[in-house]
Structure 1
Amino acid sequence: MQNQSFVTEFVLLGLSQNPNVQKILFVVFLFVYIATLGGNMLIIVTILNSPALLGSPMYFFLAFLSFLDACFSSVFTPKMVVDSLYERKTISFEGCMTQLFAEHFLSGAELIVLTAMAYDRYVAICKPLYYSSIMNRRFCGILIGLAWTGGFLHSMIQILFTFQLPFCGPNVIDHFCCDFQPLLDVACTNTHVFGLFVVLNSGFFCIITFSWLLVSYGVILFSLRTHSSEGRRKALSTCGSHIAVVVLFFVPCIFVYARPPSAFSSDKMVAVVYGILAPLLNPLIYTFRNKEVKNSMRKVWKRLLVVSDAK
C-alpha cells in the first residue's frame, strides 16, 4: 500500500496569526502544559507511593489515566508552545502522521480506561460482595492490556486510511495539529466516503460508549437508594468525578467526529478542550473532593520533606 503524496510538509494556521495573540498563547499554553504534567505526575507518584491506594483498582486505573493524560497533552501542547513563537508553523509529513497516530492511540486507550473505571464503580456499588473476586489484579491487568490494544488498533485504522489520501498540492491546514478531519480538506480527492469513515470509526464509537456509560451511571445512582446516607455521599462524590471527566472527554469528541466534515471554525476551540484542557482538569476533578487522595498526597509530601531534611 503506497501513499501517492507529493507533499513533504504541512503548514499549520494555529489558533491565531496575530503576533500579539500568539505571545499570549505562548504564555498560557506553556503554563497549562507545566501544570498538566505536574498535576498528573503528582497523582501518579502519590498512588505509586501509597500501598493502600495502589491496591485499589479504582486508583490503579486513575494512575494509568493520569499517565495517558500526561502523554496525550504532550502530543499537542509542546509544539503549540513552540509554534506560537514563529510566524510560519510547519510540520513534516512524517511528523504529521506520528502526531495523528499518537493522538488516536492515546485517546482510544483513554476511552477504554474510562469505561473500565465505570465498570469498577458499578461492581463496587451494585455488587459489593463480589467486588474483590471480580476486580482482581489479573482482570485489571487484562483491562489495561485491552486499553493498549484497542488504542493501537483504532490508531492503525486511522493511519491506514490516511495513507490512502493523495496530497498533491494544497498543504495549509486550518488547525493547530494534524487530525483526520483537517487533512481531508487538503486531500486531492473526493473525501465523502472518508468523511463517513470518520463518523463510523470515531464518532459512532464515541456515541455508543458515551451512551453506555450514561446508562451504567444511571443504574449505579438508582441502586444507591438502598445505601446508607454516608455510603451515598461517598459513592456520589466518586461517581460525580467520573461523570465530569467522561462528559469532558466524550462531548467534544462527539461534536468533532460524529458528523460529516464541515468548516466549523469552532472545531479548533473544541479540540483545545479535549486535547489540552481536559488533561489539565482531570487531576483537579479527581482530587478536589477525594479525601483519600488528598490525605495520601500530604503523607507523600511529608515523607519527601523528611528525606530532604535528612540530607
Structure 2
Amino acid sequence: MNKKVYIVILNWNGWKDTIECLESVFRSKYNNYKVIVCDNCSNDGSIEKIRQWADGKLKANITDDPRIAFYTSPAVEKPLQYLEYTREQVENGELSIDEPPLILIQTGKNLGFAGGNNVGMRYALAKSDFDYIWLLNNDTVVQNDTLLYLLEHVKGKPQMGICGSTLLFYDNPDKVQAFGGAVYNSWLALSNHIGLYQDYNVPVDYLEIIEKKMDYVVGASMLVKREFLLDIGLMCEDYFLYYEEVDWAIRAKKKYVLGYAPSSIVYHKEGASIGSSSNPLEKSFIADFYANKNRVVFTKKYYPWLLPVVYSSLLISIVNRIRRRQWSRVIFLIKILFSLGEYRHERN
C-alpha cells in the first residue's frame, strides 16, 4: 500500500494544540503523506508559532499522561521543511512543484470549519496527486498507526467514501467520545455520538452494526476518498460550524457508505478552540449559537416538514437558558426562532 494522503489540519487561535497534534502526526508509521495546516486568520500569532516549531525553535506542550505522551515525545527531528501559501494562491493554482512535508496556508479570514478545511482540500485537488484526504482536528493526538488502520479498513471497499476513527477523550482516554460516527435525529435536529462515555476497554464486536447505524462520520477524524470528493464535492460552507459532516453524508447517501476503523485511535480534546462540549452547561457562546442556528438551517434544507418540531424544541431551549439566566443566549435563540433577519455571531 503506497497511496498518497494529504492530512488537512485546521487551526484557529490554537497553535499549542496544533503543534502537539503535529508532533504525533509526523511520527506516523505510514510515510506517504503531506501535512496541510490551514490557518483561519488567527489573531494569536499561530502561524509564526507553527513556523518556530517547524524550525526547531519552539517545543510542543506535552501532556503528563504517559498513555498519550508516548505518541508525541520525544520530539520529531527538526527542522521540518515547509512552504507557505495564501488562499488566493491556492485557488489560482500558484503552487510549487517541489512539496515539503508541511504546507501552511493562510485563509485570510475565519471561514469556519468547512470553509477552512475546503481550502486545504482545494490545494490537494489542484495538485491532483493524491488518493485520500485525512481531515483531522487540530485538538487531537494520534497514535503512530492511526492512519494505517484507516487505510487498511477502506482498502478494497470502493463504495466506502468516508471512514472514521475511534475517538477517545484526551483528558480521559479510558472513555469513548465516539465509535467513528453519530446517529442523527431529524425530528429534533440533534445528534448522538455512537458509544459516547462507554469504557474503551470493553471490546467492540459489532462493527457492521455500528457502520449501518452511522448517519455521519464525526469530523474530528475523517478519511475521505479522492473519488468521493470528485463525485460529491467539498463540504457545504453554509453552516460555519457544526452540521457540515451530516450534510456531506446526506448528499452522498445514495452513492457511498460510511466506514469505521476501530483500531484507528484519536485522542480528542473536544472543541478546544471554540469551547464545544458534550455538557450543555460548559458549551461556549459561539458553540451554543451555531449548534442551535444550524438546527434550523439544516432542517430547512433537508427536512422542511419537520420545522415545527424543531421550533418547539427551541422553545424548550429558551426556557432552559432562562432558568440558567443566560440572557444573551435567550436573545439569540428568540432571533433564530422567529428568523429575525440574518443573525450572525462575530466570527473573528
- What TM-score do the two structures reach when normalised by structure 2? 0.24
Greater RCO, CA 8 A, separation 6+: 1
- What TM-score do the two structures reach when normalised by structure 1? 0.26
Structure richer in helix, relative to its length? 1
Structure richer in strand, relative to its length? 2
